[in-house]
Amino acid sequence: MNIDVEAGQSADDTRRQVLYWRLLARVFDPEEQPSLETASVAIVDDLGLPTALLDPGVSVDNIVQRFPELATELADLMTPPATPDAADPADEAPAPGTPGDSAAAGETGAAGQADVPGGASEATAPDAAGLPGAAGEVGEVIPAAVEGGSLEKGGERVRRAALVSKLLLNVFCTGSGNVSAQQLAGWQQDAGWLKQALGEEGAAANGGVLSEVEGDLVKRMRLREVLADPKLASRLTPSMSLIEQLLRDKSNLSGVALANAKALIRRFVDEVAEVLRTQVQQTSAGTLDRSVPPKRVFRNLDLERTIWKNLTNWSPEDERLYVDRLFYRHTAKRTTPAKMIVVVDQSGSMVDSMVNCTILASIFAGLPKVDVHLIAYDTRAIDLTPWVHDPFEVLLRTNLGGGNDGPVAMEMARPKISDPANTVMVWISDFYEFDRSQPLLDGIQAVHRSGVKFIPVGSVNSSGTQIVNPWFRERFRNLGTPVISGHIRKLVGELKNFLA
């Protein structure tokens, strides 16, 4: 392999290019490229890093166990650096693919001049064999922030590139063929390191990409055989991709396999419920009820107000403030009985939102003076209200897949409305109703006009992926009820505001 070094391009930029080209070659081509492998080994060795970084078969956990000092470097490795206000704009790292940064061009396969292994002269990679989506997925996870900006010295940037390559290699170089429970667990651990390196915002932004890769691995598992063996099943770590596969296949499971599947679903539900319960508790709700006298206990003492109101009692001679009246904070909040009707599209494309919102409905059902009703639908509707307090039972009673018939669900939901002004209807769907679109919209408009708080919800998940019918999205906006899509915290906030 020959790399033409552009004018002004340093040796360190070239070494970073080699590492990233080697990364792309390993992800998109099962055969090793000898020239790239040799060059990468030399670079890693020169940096004083273990050559095991180049082996996708060696887990990140294994590397950190043998070289503990790397754990600190891997943490927040790919988060954007804090750039001083006085920094020269010319020093800022340009976006990937910008002609001004030849190194970035090599990393994203955009503008660098290189003889790509396999004879390709374009700096674009083919679709990844065995990986979901197109070749751009790896590039999406390498933002300009990966390089730490040009504030770092060249050698430090090469070292960073080597560590970044290891994380991306282990997560995206998944090979082909069957996947064992141990391999899936290992991938999940490596993906955890990548999420930690990306930081909270980066992990959320790239959650959809990682979910696709994990979903592909789950599909390649002989899941029924794994579930039938308690030892293998115990190695599985529940995730959204795994839960989706279990829900799809639950009718084909029995005996030990079904029991292990239920245990995994229950474990996942409990983990997600704990996170959502915390979010519900942290979101402010309710207005202070000043008609209720404040409880006169120390924790409610309003110290600042007490001092302010007693300033007239200040004695200059004694240099003391004499307090003749204490003031306390009002903590009682006014709560009004409310009805929440949650309608969930149980088609296969909505599994992430269905799981999250089903669990969320159970949490709100546990709040005082909140009457929660739950309806799931595809071409038929089913009332799941009797099990709304137990999301595990709700999920076991759903059937993923099939078409959509929203008007059928609306017919079941409307009789539940007794006090429109004190009712909120949450409708979770991608709203692809096809020939049933207009009848569903008519029903929604009628409910909205009656005074019901209508909240249309697209894909509410941890990754922020958005898939909503543009026709419905535009009409909901005109109706004054824009679709909520993105992180489930948005829906939590909307519901808490209504209940206030």
Asked, for residue 417, whether it belongs to a domain, the answer is yes
Q: Which domain holds residue 313?
A: 287-321
Q: How many whole angstroms separate alpha carbon 387 and alpha carbon 385? A: 5
Asked, for residue 255, whether it belongs to a domain, the answer is yes
Asked, for residue 2, whether it belongs to a domain, the answer is no
- Res. 122 pLDDT band, cuts 50 70 90: very low
Sign of the dihedral defined by the CA atoms of residues 366, 367, 372, 374, in that order: negative
Over residues 19-38, the pLDDT tens digits come to 988 888 888 877 788 888 89
Average the pLDDT over each of 138-142, 143-147, 214-218, 432-436 and give the range with the smallest value. 143-147
Is there a contact between 151 and 33 (Cβ–Cβ < 8 Å)?
Answer: no
Total of domains in the chain = 4
Q: How many whole angstroms separate alpha carbon 32 and alpha carbon 39? A: 12
In a shared domain, residues 243 and 343: no
Asked if the model's pLDDT at residue 306 lies above 80, the reply is yes
In a shared domain, residues 51 and 129: yes
In a shared domain, residues 33 and 165: yes
In a shared domain, residues 134 and 202: yes
- Mean pLDDT is highest, among 148-157, 300-309, 443-452, for 443-452
In a shared domain, residues 191 and 122: yes
Asked, for residue 330, whether it belongs to a domain, the answer is no
- Res. 466 pLDDT band, cuts 50 70 90: low
Asked, for residue 59, whether it belongs to a domain, the answer is yes
Average the pLDDT over each of 213-227, 246-260, 349-363, 375-389 and give the range with the smallest value. 349-363
Query: Domain end: 275, 308, 343, which one?
Result: 275
Asked if the model's pLDDT at residue 111 lies above 80, the reply is no
In a shared domain, residues 385 and 355: yes
Asked if the model's pLDDT at residue 344 lies above 70, the reply is yes
In a shared domain, residues 372 and 239: no
- Res. 126 pLDDT band, cuts 50 70 90: very low
Asked, for residue 1, whether it belongs to a domain, the answer is no
Mean pLDDT taken over the chain:
74
- Res. 237 pLDDT band, cuts 50 70 90: confident
Residue 33: C-alpha distances to residues 11, 21, 30, 119 (Å): 21, 10, 10, 12
Q: What is the mean pLDDT of residues 53-57?
A: 84
pLDDT score, position 409: 92
pLDDT score, position 414: 93
Asked, for residue 329, whether it belongs to a domain, the answer is no
In a shared domain, residues 182 and 33: yes
Query: Domain end: 218, 240, 260, which one?
Result: 218
In a shared domain, residues 451 and 475: yes
pLDDT score, position 118: 39
- The distance in angstroms from the start CA to the end CA of the chain is 65
In a shared domain, residues 265 and 374: no
pLDDT score, position 443: 93
Asked, for residue 265, whether it belongs to a domain, the answer is yes
Asked if the model's pLDDT at residue 452 lies above 60, the reply is yes
pLDDT score, position 333: 57
In a shared domain, residues 271 and 416: no
Asked if the model's pLDDT at residue 102 lies above 60, the reply is no
Neighbours of 317 (CB within 10 A): 5
In a shared domain, residues 385 and 305: no
